[in-house]
Amino acid sequence: MSKSIRVLFVDDSDDDVMLLTKALKKGGYLPSYKQVDTADAMSDTLDSQTWDVILCDYAMPKFSAFSALNLYKKKGLDLPFIIVSGTITDETAVEAMKAGAHDYIIKDNLARLCPAIEREIREAKVRKERRQAESQLKKSEDKYRTLFQDSRDAIYINASQGAFIDFNQSMLDLFGYSRAEISRMQTKDVFAKEDEYLKFQDEINQKGSVREFEAKLCRKDGTEMDCLITAAVRQTKDQSIIGYQGIIHDISALLSSRQTLEKSLKKLRKALGGTIQAMAVTVETRDPYTAGHQRGVSNLARAIASELGISENKIQGIRFAGVIHDIGKICVPGEILSKPGTISKNELGLIKEHSQVGHNILKTVDFPWPIAKIVLQHHEKMDGTGYPDGISGENILLEARVLAVADVVEAMGSHRPYRPSLGIDMALKEIQNHKNIFYDPQVVDACLRLFNEKGYQL
């Protein structure tokens, strides 16, 4: 199947053009062509049309091959330019090749024409692809250089021995050195602590990269700053280390803000703890036994929560909820709370209201834990027979389930005005017998381990 080809003939002989056209067809091409024999005609044609190859006669009365070559180069073209002549000498052909021709063909040997054209078209395509790749690479490099120079973080490249070989303006701004000064420095020179530099270097050599390595670095004026370094090894194809590249981010201001925030949070937690203690004292003024009970429940609940592996934040909430879980008893008359002997049904009803009352008191306080809800649910039971809402199972907060077990154990194991202590053995037997009925089985098991295996005491 013939291949289409667009040919520009720079030739004053119609017979020669016909001869070359036949040779092209014989070689498997289907040519579309135009013939020109002056500089103006060639220039106009090159500007108005696209060609695959130029076949140029060497000697013409009005136009020479060298003039055609100069015009071709002035246009900045890159398509095969082949000289075809019957009289050209080897010396002249070499001169033409040096001037920019891609090949020359003797008319007595036109068998070379099509292979030469095919080769030169292929090579022109390779050159075009190479130029495109180089152009894309340059754009990529320009983009990288822009990112490199404009980054707000310090970026550096150094040699295998640590000497800085390239760096952006942010690097100079961060450390306070001039370009000439930092060019004479090595990576270790900006580390405030030698042990941190050695650890950094060891990690990057072992892993090939480090991400957000925290270290103290030193400015020119001696000021230390907290920084994060993300860096990677630069290697040759045979995996030899030729250097490193990295990004340095100054986090001094961030750490300072974090420390200030932590101090503020510590003060807030202290104030919150004081507020909760004040609430507990409010109850204690009316019922010393209840206040002591709340502290005991808080301590045991915190120990159970730790045994269960509950998060530190939730444990803190459980501890505070335990300290004030009976705050609702402030609504119960003192004579009922401290009454010796049997409590009537109506009196028990009043006492049971303390969960809801406690919730109502605490729900308006914006605690970082669901303390009001924990207090509301601490008398709910797994089988739904508890109060005030009769909810069951997983519908009860885990914190409330922990508090429920701690509450019953502390209450039974401690003295009350209306009865002596029932003893810790009786308390543990109670939660064991009602495990998975009243009390969460995992919470019960954790409580039993504390007393039976770890020596916990009320």
Inside any domain, residue 119: yes
- Residues 71-103 have pLDDT tens digits of 999 988 888 999 988 877 778 888 888 888 888
The domain that holds 421 is classified in CATH as: 1.10.3210.10
Rounded distance between C-alpha atoms, residue 178 and residue 316, angstroms: 52
Per the CB < 8 A criterion, the answer to whether 204 and 233 are in contact is: yes
CA 175 to chain centre: 26
The domain that holds 170 is classified in CATH as: 3.30.450.20
The domain that holds 36 is classified in CATH as: 3.40.50.2300
Residue in 372, 369, 368, 396 with CA at minimum distance from that of residue 382: 396
Residue in 396, 425, 431, 400 with CA at minimum distance from that of residue 413: 425
Q: Which residue has the higher pLDDT, 53 or 289?
A: 53
- State the virtual CA torsion across 329, 333, 339, 343 in degrees, nearest 10: -80
- Residues 344-402 have pLDDT tens digits of 777 777 778 889 988 998 888 888 899 999 999 999 999 999 999 999 999 999 999 99
- Residues 395-448 have pLDDT tens digits of 999 999 999 999 999 988 876 655 666 788 898 999 999 999 999 999 999 999
pLDDT at 361: 87
Q: Are residues 168 and 72 in the same domain?
A: no
Residue with tokens 């919730």: 359
Residue 259 pLDDT level (bands cut at 50, 70, 90): confident
Q: Are residues 116 and 164 in the same domain?
A: no
Q: Is the pLDDT of residue 302 over 70?
A: yes
Inside any domain, residue 138: no
Single-letter amino acid code for the residue at 399: E
Inside any domain, residue 457: no
Omega before 388 cis (within 30°)?
Answer: yes
Q: Are residues 25 and 124 in the same domain?
A: yes
Q: Are residues 339 and 420 in the same domain?
A: yes
What residues have CB less than 8 Å from 237, skipping those under 6 apart? Answer: none
Inside any domain, residue 145: no
**Prediction pTM value:** 0.48
- Residues 242-257 have pLDDT tens digits of 888 899 999 888 887 7
Rounded distance between C-alpha atoms, residue 362 and residue 285, angstroms: 19
Coarse DSSP helix, strand, coil percentages of the chain, rounded to the nearest 5 percent: 55, 20, 25
Instruction: Give the end of a domain, one of 71, 99, 130.
Output: 130
pLDDT at 100: 86
Residues 341-371: b if buried by 16+ CB within 10 A, e if exposed: eeeeeebeebbebbbbbbbebbeeeebebbb
Inside any domain, residue 135: no
- Residues 103-139 have pLDDT tens digits of 888 888 888 889 988 998 888 888 887 777 666 666 6
| Neighbouring C-beta atoms of residue 453, cutoff 10 Å | 9
Inside any domain, residue 136: no
- Output the six-digit token pair for 30: 């289907």
Q: Are residues 165 and 106 in the same domain?
A: no
Per the CB < 8 A criterion, the answer to whether 350 and 335 are in contact is: no
Q: Are residues 239 and 269 in the same domain?
A: no
**Domain with 391 in it:** 256-452
Of 79-83, 157-161, 267-271, where does the model show the most confidence? 79-83
Q: Is the pLDDT of residue 300 over 80?
A: yes
Number of domains making up the chain: 3
Residue with tokens 């039974």: 412
Least confident of 22-36, 87-101, 329-343, 367-381: 329-343
Mean pLDDT for the chain?
Answer: 86
pLDDT at 308: 95
Residue 323 to residues 228, 268, 299, 371, 440, Cα–Cα distance (Å): 42, 18, 9, 10, 21
Rounded distance between C-alpha atoms, residue 188 and residue 200, angstroms: 10
Supply the DSSP symbol for 416.
Answer: B
Residue in 294, 305, 303, 317 with CA at minimum distance from that of residue 371: 317
